[in-house]
Amino acid sequence: MRVCLSTKLPIAADAAFLVLRTPALLNHVAAPLLRFVPIEPRAFPPIWQEGACRVRVLLGGILPLGQQSIDISQQRSLDGSFRMRDNGSGDLARRWDHWITITPDGEDGCTYVDDVAIEAGLLTPVVWSFARIFYAHRQRRWRKLAQHGGAGIRDLMRRTAWRGCLDAELLAFASARTAGDVSRQWYALERAHILSQAALGAHLQVHRLMLGLAVRTGDLREIVGQAFRLALAPLGSLTGRIPWGNTGRARVDAFTPMPIPPDFRDVLPS
């Protein structure tokens, strides 16, 4: 079965394709219905490259729906149109062949098309029905992003860079943990904490990792401090009182801003 939907976007085709190649767009237009978490590789690239990766699919960002492969290929036609294909498959659908086509429509507009072929055995009608809702939702999110023009696109690019920096620090932490290097683990988590303050989910994740490290090393002061900060983090997000640059350790005051590392200044909210 197929789903084929189109919409008009108030941005030029080349700008739309540039955004399309940004992995942050995947979760931006899927939210809050779905969230995709990279498995292999363990972080999304800054720009989609041709080839396959594997992701975990979460309904509402919470409920696991299994794994799915994303197999990207890209085309550009002589008429100025762009095409990207995700010839994927997953635990719920053995075939999820998704083509995106972006065609110029005047100087400052384009036509955007989602065309996906789905095979999921007996579940095909159910998966097709969800896909119909999902792609209509994606296109609404796309239109809203495009209506913000350059500011919306720049913000998406900044969040892409932010996510890449955060993933890099979490990978550094995982590598240090495998090597048994406690000081490198704390260093990576401190840097991850500075970045994570921009999003509550990431903020809580880093404090959970800090708490786990404190437990493994038997650091009572850090255990108590991390438990306190886990409880405090949602309040800071709700009130907007974020101590930017704070490393999140128990040895520093939880409410004190600290210098932001130079390599993070362009990816955190100004």
Q: 119-138: per-residue pLDDT in tens?
A: 999 999 999 999 999 999 99
Sketch out the chain's domains with CATH numbers.
2-147 (3.30.530.20), 162-264 (no CATH)
pLDDT of the residue at 150: 66
pLDDT of the residue at 76: 85
pLDDT exceeds cutoff 80 at 12: yes
Average pLDDT, the chain: 91
Of 144, 89, 69, 156, the residue nearest 112 (C-alpha): 144
CB 263: neighbour CB atoms within 10 A? 9
Q: Which own/partner contact pairs does 192-195 have at CB distance under 8 Å and 24+ positions apart?
A: 192/166, 193/246, 193/247, 193/248, 194/244, 194/245, 194/246, 194/247, 194/248, 194/260, 194/261, 194/264, 194/268, 195/162, 195/165, 195/166, 195/169, 195/264, 195/267, 195/268
pLDDT exceeds cutoff 90 at 219: yes
User: What average pLDDT score do residues 53-80 get?
Assistant: 89
pLDDT of the residue at 113: 97
pLDDT of the residue at 108: 85
Q: Which of 13-17, 230-234, 239-243, 245-249 has the lowest mean pLDDT?
A: 239-243
Of 52, 110, 60, 59, the residue nearest 80 (C-alpha): 110
Q: Which amino acid is at 29?
A: V
pLDDT band of residue 52 (cuts 50, 70, 90) is very high
Q: 94-115: per-residue pLDDT in tens?
A: 999 999 999 999 878 999 999 9
Q: How far apart are CA 28 and CA 64, in angstroms?
A: 18
pLDDT band of residue 59 (cuts 50, 70, 90) is very high
Q: Which residues pair with 35 in a beta bridge?
A: 58
User: What average pLDDT score do residues 53-72 get?
Assistant: 91
Q: 67-88: per-residue pLDDT in tens?
A: 999 999 998 887 889 999 999 9
pLDDT exceeds cutoff 70 at 270: no
pLDDT of the residue at 75: 87
Q: 144-198: per-residue pLDDT in tens?
A: 988 877 677 777 778 778 887 898 899 899 999 999 999 999 999 999 999 999 9
Using alpha carbons, list the distances in angstroms from residue 269 to 45, 162, 195.
21, 10, 10
